[in-house]
Chain A
């Protein structure tokens, strides 16, 4: 297998995630698109780690594990914020949250 196959697939997933973050209206859906982006990054890390091989390349695996842990923390806090938003304004439509708009 070529290294490029994994990297291009990760780039495609990243761009689909970017599209999702830009276009989606609901807060939960934006968080899901962010998860897509993080998975694309993880795929990249694992691909480079496989190219180097252990013992040097194992840093890629360790980094990917830390990314998974940080993603879990981020989704937890992000969902808590979305919940608070829902409680205050009864909707999670990000278009309607424009209190700071001039």
Chain B
């Protein structure tokens, strides 16, 4: 199984997966903003979030994908559905779109899409998804630091490195050394959050606490 490949080699399986997920995401998103049922809009949003989560997996961001499924779909959507229930939203169809704003809104959205699309195509055409240099492909692991008995001449990315490690016959100290290396993106993210980004991490904790207290204070009965 190979990781992200530079644009020169088109990988059919990746393209099929990408377009399948992209069409589901766009279709469900369009239904979120046009449907007349509120509860169905929430469920179409689940479709969007799920397909975007799978797109994260396609881009080798497994920790963010797991977080997306657990936090976004598992908590935020549930919160939204509770909000729908507590505000007695009608369970049948209701005209949920302001008729006179529809044309203006569509124009603004299309204009925005045109401008952003032009900027993106002009700026990033033909750039492949996937790092080019060896160190980045191996998640920052220096090939010199791996034990000599490991054959890494054919290893192109961290997935093949993990396979090579699993198949090789290593002594116990070599295994202990290798366990420290960041083989998965999750390890790199974890190292990063608790060293470089520790202050934003704590700040987000305080933010969540403030939001929790704020929501309780706002919504309690007098």
Interface size class of B (residues with CB under 8 A): 35 or more
Q: Are B63 and A61 in contact (CB under 8 A)?
A: yes
Nearest B residue to A91 via CB reads B87
For the A-B complex, the count of residue pairs with Cβ-Cβ distances under 8 Å equals: 278
Interface size class of A (residues with CB under 8 A): 35 or more
Instruction: Among A15, A25, A75, A86, point to the contact of B79 (Cβ < 8 A).
Output: A75
Q: Are A92 and B200 in contact (CB under 8 A)?
A: no
Q: Are A70 and B204 in contact (CB under 8 A)?
A: yes
Q: Are B129 and A2 in contact (CB under 8 A)?
A: yes
Instruction: Among A36, A52, A75, point to the contact of B131 (Cβ < 8 A).
Output: A52
Q: Are A11 and B116 in contact (CB under 8 A)?
A: yes
Instruction: Among A3, A20, A59, A74, point to the contact of B129 (Cβ < 8 A).
Output: A3
B143 proximity list for chain A (CB < 8 A): none
Bound-complex Cα distance A22 to B109 (A):
9
A57-85 interface (Cβ within 8 A of B): 57-59, 61-62, 64-66, 68-77, 79-84
Q: Are A11 and B76 in contact (CB under 8 A)?
A: no
**Contact string, B177-210, partner A, CB cutoff 8 A, digits 1/0?**
0000010010011001100110010001001101
Report the minimum CB–CB distance from B154 to chain A (whole Å).
Answer: 19
Q: Are A51 and B127 in contact (CB under 8 A)?
A: yes
Instruction: Among A6, A24, A31, point to the contact of B55 (Cβ < 8 A).
Output: A6
**Known contacts being A14-B112, A36-B29, is A50 close to B96, with CB within 8 Å?**
no
Nearest B residue to A26 via CB reads B96
Q: Are A16 and B33 in contact (CB under 8 A)?
A: yes
Bound-complex Cα distance A71 to B82 (A):
16
